Structure 1
Amino acid sequence: EVTQIIQIVWSISVKTKPLTIRDLRETDSATYKFRFITNLEHGRYVGEPGVTLSVTDLQVQVITSTYRRSELRCLNRCSLPDRFTYIWYKNGQNIQGQTSNTYSGYFVDTDRVSCAVRGQELFPSPSVSFTWGVTYTSTKICGSKGSTVVIHCSYRYPSRVNNVDTRVTDRFWFVNNEPLDLKEDSDYSGRVEDQCNGNSCTLTIRDLRETDSAEYKFRFITNHESGRYTGSPGVVLSVSDPQLQVDVRKSTVDQFSTWTELTCHSNCQLSDPHSYIWYKNGEKVERERKEYYILDGFDPSDRYYCTIEVLGYERFRSPPVYRPNLPSVSVSPSEIVEGSSVTLTCSSDANPAANYTWYKENEESPKASGQIFTITDIRAEHSGIYYCEVQNSLGRHNNTLHLTVLGDKSVIITNRIRLTVVVVMLIFLILLLSLWMRNKKTLTSKCKLNEPGETIESDSHPDYQNISALKSVTAAQTNDTEEQEDLV
């Protein structure tokens, strides 16, 4: 029986194919055994202890590290045959000529390194940062007086230096380039708190004061002699009201449809929990509470602005955004002659700031850009209608002016002399006509005085009767006298 079993084992070892497992997963990590059964009653056998398979990722291990230079090893928990070669990656790019499981070089804080076994490039090691460094979530934040701010950071360091595991012994925040723990600063007593979770840390400052405006830095110290690192530059905190602005981005979906996106942002990052409130023409848009607001259309008279709501209170208002108003256009000088220099000026009120373009009627290409358009050595052909177009990301507007170019200066002077002579002659003729009319009126008045008087009859008043009687008596006396003269 023993001989038969040996023969069977020999037969199996010769004829049986190896076990192949493709697309390995971490759950495939286990001990694999081979079992065979014979025709004998107790002819069953399991190979112990079996083969232990460990499905593990490669890892980049730091062997030695100085401030910039490090020596690395591509480490696997299970030994690989010597015939395997390796590939090294730096910031996602293949490092040419590196095929062993070790690699040394110079690196900066932002470099990321990984490795892989050649032929298994789809399964590289996780990329690691093996240098000293501190990364801040934001390098510029602001907060209003009396509020609370939270500053975030993460730090990194090589896991081993000179074959000694790295261990962090102290970590703290400081200000004003003095590496003193902020919690021990009397100016911040009872107002600061720092917390760390793994390699991520936060600094909380409550009841902000104007004197808290400064640059804050994080520092950590390790068990290595030179293993101290400060994150520079740090985080600049400004204790002031944020300056809100509305950015405009316009997009055309097709020839019939456009949309406009408004974004409310600050000159520095706000630390307090907050939401945004949008206003259209002075009325609150209730449905929008995010930093961006998408519009289907923008009417010429529309004005939008945003505010920030902190702890239920609205604070900080942005300037409104709107389309350009009707531009004002002017020309200088007002009288334009050939050969002179002429300046056209255009101005409009708009937010965001508008671009200015000058056109001449019936000409497609623009004549100039900018608020001021200057024409030197102007000629008659420059005469015509000009219009200024003002445009920003929300819309456009334009206005026109008529430019008339006169002849040269000598012609102008001659024309002025002629005009002056004509005016003087007209004045002289008017004076003569006036004198003639006055003389004619005087002669007419004299002729009327020489005509016989008419008898005024009135029965209604006794005075007029006396006057009439007196005239009758006088007339009678005159007649008697004339008769006597005839007799003589």
Structure 2
Amino acid sequence: MKMLQLVTILLTLSGVFSDWGVKYPDNPICAVRGFSVPIPCSYYYPTSNPNIQVTQMLWCSMNSNTDKCQNPPYVYNSASITTSDFEYAGDNKSNCTLLIHNVQFSYSGVYKFRFITDNPSGKWTGEPGATLQVADLKVSLIRLSGIGTLKQGDSLNLTCDVNCTQSSSQFVWSKNNERLNTSGRVLHFPAVTVRDSGNYTCTWKTNRASGSETISLHIEGGWGVNYTTPICAVRGFSVSIPCSYSYPQHNYQVTQKLWCSMNSNTGGCENPPYVYNSSSITTSDFEYAGDDKSDCTLLIHNVQFSYSGEYRFRFITNVSGDMWTGEPGQILQVSDLKVSLIRLSGNGTLKQGDSLNLTCDVKCTQSSSQFVWSKNNERLNTSGRVLHFPAVTVRDSGNYTCTWKTNMTSGSETISLLVEGENPDHQPNWIIAVVTSGVIFIILVLLGAAICNRRRKPDAPEDNSRNAGEQTQVKQLPLPNEEVPQQGDVTYASVCIKDNNLNNGRVHTEQKKEDISVIYSTVTIK
């Protein structure tokens, strides 16, 4: 009978718990660094009870959360109004999809969803979670024939690689932003020509994510200008725009170099205005860092939002009518670098034990970039756009700087962190007061003892010129052979005996008389 009751209870509990759950994708999700990816998710709970309402939705990363998502930190918390790369794309009914922007390598790992209802016992964390893999998308040039710089007739392949497995994926190729009629991870060139020069982009797509990478191809043998992939720069800092150009070397010399911004130049760069003109001596934020042979690099200082756009290089030779403008041009994106403080626990002023993240954001994509953190100008042993503090202390107070670096540019931003509490490196004020008072008391005691000791010593003799050890003893003696004075007459007599060998005020009578000097003095008052 007891066994039957136990089985009944277990079956009942099984039925109850089967009404709660979270569903994730069966396979790991692959994402390309710098791009966005959704993590599909659905959840359910007893709908037979219409009074149950979901009040809070949470997502946690098991990289930082060691408490099975039951406590902070969370990458998403519906009760918080902070913004980050982790965006909730679900609802409070059944959809718990998480959308992650600007994916970084540090985001790889397991993510779990947890929801809380208005029922005190109605809480659930989905196990085992969704696995996210982050990889770089890399486009490589593989030479099949020829050496050195690419020349007409050389054979090569462009290959597109992602270092994580995703079965339902495809590769799409484009040249100068125009899609090519080819597919697959390899783009083959049996014999290149000058016309093959340009920017080739490989786009990798899945049902959930996508990413792209660009490589430049420059074939010698004619006229041309070669740019790089779109460049991202931080406002207020400097950025270089790499550029190379070519022309028939025989009997040609470059006489003028020009850079134009398509924001202000509507004539295809054939006429002014120019942001740089080698024939002009004016100075500006646009500096030419190239030469008159093949390098046309442009260096832009103090970048501003208005500098975003397309830039083209144009060069003119000594042969009349022989000039060239590189199209479609170089794209520059300008963004602010923003360091934000995201509270994971605690409110109000920061206190010891609070949990938080410092995040570094750049609103443009640059695949080959890195984030470097420093505190009070000393580099920290951490990387990635997020600096996590599971439980801050007073020692964590300071100025934190995030530096964003690429091959072409860099930028930095600083945020101050002040954590309230008692600094263990400094003694409390009451200890300092007690120690100070004790020192002052000891000094006063020693000073008082010295004064008392000085007052107890006999006065020093007035004449020490003859002998440093000379001492004087004064004795009062009666005058010899002198009548006793009458009443009313007062006579005082004194004898001063000077002896160099007196000890403690006692006369050594065994000394010879000639060694003793006697001075008699008499004062009579009538």
More helix by share: 1
TM-score (norm 2): 0.26
Q: Looking at CA atoms only, which structure, 1 or 2, has the larger radius of gyration?
A: 1
